[in-house]
Amino acid sequence: MNGPDTVEPVLPPVAVVSVTYNRCEPLLVLLRQLAALNYDPASLDIFLVDNASSDDTVARVRAEFPAVHLVLSRENSGVAAGFNRSVQEALDAARDYRYLWLLDSDAEVEPDTLIRMVTALEQDPGIGVVGSAVYDPLERSRLVTAGLRIDWQRVDVPYVLPSSDDGERLIDVDLVPACSMLTRASLYGSVGLWDLRFPLYWGDTDWCARVQRHGARVCCAVDSRAWHRDWSNVIRGFGASIFIRDHVRGALLFHLRHDPQASLAATRRLILKTCTKSALERLTLRHGYAEAYLAAVDDLLKGRFPRDFANASNEPALLPLEQAVMEVARHLPPRPVILLNQIADPAYRARIRAAFDSRVADIAWREIAPEGAAGEWSEYRVFNPGQLVRHLRRMLRGFGRPDLNICDVSRPLLYNFAAGRRSLLLDHAGRGVLVTNGVLGDGLRSVFAVLRGLKAALFDLPLAARFCVPLRGAVRDNRGAV
């Protein structure tokens, strides 16, 4: 917020609203970038909710940025509750802010990020929300998305990626991510705050849909740039089940609430898609993920929408690598065949081999090379049919399978259940769990998951939509639960 030669003469007052939890270093980077904006510092205030961080976030923010309005929460109640409290603090302030800028605490901005969104709102009173184009912080020139649009037929939310020669600087979209979203302060009186039934995911999507129902446009200012990681595809490993359940539950409620046809069709398709993913996850041996998908469907049908977010997991207790090797070694036959199944990091592969070679004699090692980023399957958006064909071929070859299959839990390998008599699933921290592979058992559970999806979509959903009082209330409540 410096540089008198670059500041506009009279700029409308803006409140930056954000929420953070144990992200001290990225937050400080963001606050320093906000201090360097091409925007009059007298027209900009920052409201920050700390969701009970256990690191030194509060002390360091107070020391380096004493002007920040810091609000301390007693517990980590989730993104939606944190943003709501931060927004409410700004609305209740003595100053009359024209715009509220929602920013994720780990986002990054450049000097012109804000002024370009403000310009868009100032020039068109019909626009209610403007977001930044979001770039990859690890590959800073790569555009991730310029807003998103809802595909109701495919029950998907594809990114908007304009070509460089389109020439449009402002694009109408269905939603913009809250990692950098500028909103008119006046909207909150009519639209309401974020719905706490979406504690972590889908809160910004739902709010943008409600804004559009009130007749305001949602746009992306392509020349306003922010950098942010796509956490829906980054949060993996043994702790991801709770995130998957929250994400899918939110997606189901969103589609049921906002379906433009006012029917159950989109939600039915999403239930079938969700239960199919549960079946596929069962084949990857990621049983916690499989149960999380089914639990999300049950949550919808029973009207269970937790209004806070607990960092809990239903995954089994994990063993450090060396201890896991000791446990596995007791079950291996003499001269075992061990498969290193797409472990990407060469140093990690070497560590695994050394740990086993020190305790098990005469190992016959096999390796399947990592497929790379193009071969990965995102639980949330993309499934690659070509990858499934490769997996089926490996499954057919897998019945002459090794004694142990070692794989990375963050990589969804559909042939895991047939790739070895036992599997050791490891995360990037070197922790793991031993799973006994049951081709018949896992296959049957996968079939049951699909049948369960058919029953839920065709019979349970219509009954719940008609008779489940909490679900009916959640669908009707378009102002949001605050």
284-327 pLDDT, tens digit each = 777 888 899 999 999 999 999 987 655 544 556 778 888 989 98
Tens-digit pLDDT profile for residues 71-114: 998 888 888 999 999 999 999 999 999 999 999 999 999 999 99
pLDDT of residue 374: 38
Average of pLDDT values for 171-186? 94
Q: Residue 11: is its pLDDT beyond 70? A: yes
pLDDT of residue 390: 66
Higher-confidence residue of 187 and 385: namely 187
Q: What is the Cα–Cα distance from 273 to 289, expressed in whole angstroms?
A: 14
Q: Residue 166: is its pLDDT beyond 70? A: no
Average of pLDDT values for 1-27? 78
- 3-class SS string, the chain: CCCHHHCCCCCCCEEEEEEECCCHHHHHHHHHHHHCCCCCHHHEEEEEEECCCCCCHHHHHHHHCCCCEEEECCCCCCHHHHHHHHHHHHHHCCCCCCEEEEECCCCEECCCHHHHHHHHHHHCCCEEEEEEEEEECCEEEEEEECCECCECCCCECCECCCCCCCCCCEEECCECCCCEEEEECCHHHHHCCCCCCCCCCCHHHHHHHHHHHCCCEEEEEEEEEEECCCHHHHCCCCCCHHHHHHHHHHHHHHHHHHCCCCCCHHHHHHHHHHHHHHHHHHHHCCHHHHHHHHHHHHHHHCCCCCCCCCCCCCCCCCEEHHHHHHHHHCCCCCCCEEEEECCCCHHHHHHHHHHHHCCCCCCEEEEECCCCHHHCCCCCCCCCHHHHHHHHHHHHHCCCCCCEEEEECCCCCCCHHHCCCEEEEECCCCEEEEEECCHHHHHHHHHHHHHHHHHHHHHHHHHHHHHCHHHHHHHHCCCCCC
Average of pLDDT values for 136-145? 89
Average of pLDDT values for 131-154? 90
Q: Residue 455: is its pLDDT beyond 90? A: yes
Q: What is the Cα–Cα distance from 471 to 477, expressed in whole angstroms?
A: 10
Tens-digit pLDDT profile for residues 180-235: 999 999 999 999 999 999 988 899 999 999 999 999 999 999 999 999 976 554 45
CB 403, CB 365: distance < 8 Å: no
Q: What is the Cα–Cα distance from 211 to 378, expressed in whole angstroms?
A: 29
pLDDT of residue 385: 61
Angle separating helix axes 265-284 and 287-301, nearest 10 degrees: 160
Which band of pLDDT confidence, cut at 50, 70 and 90, is reported for residue 392?
low
Q: Backbone phi, then psi, for 127, in 5-degree steps?
A: -90, 130
Q: Which of 30-34, 248-252, 429-433 has the lowest mean pLDDT?
A: 429-433
For the chain, percent of residues with pLDDT exceeding 90: 49
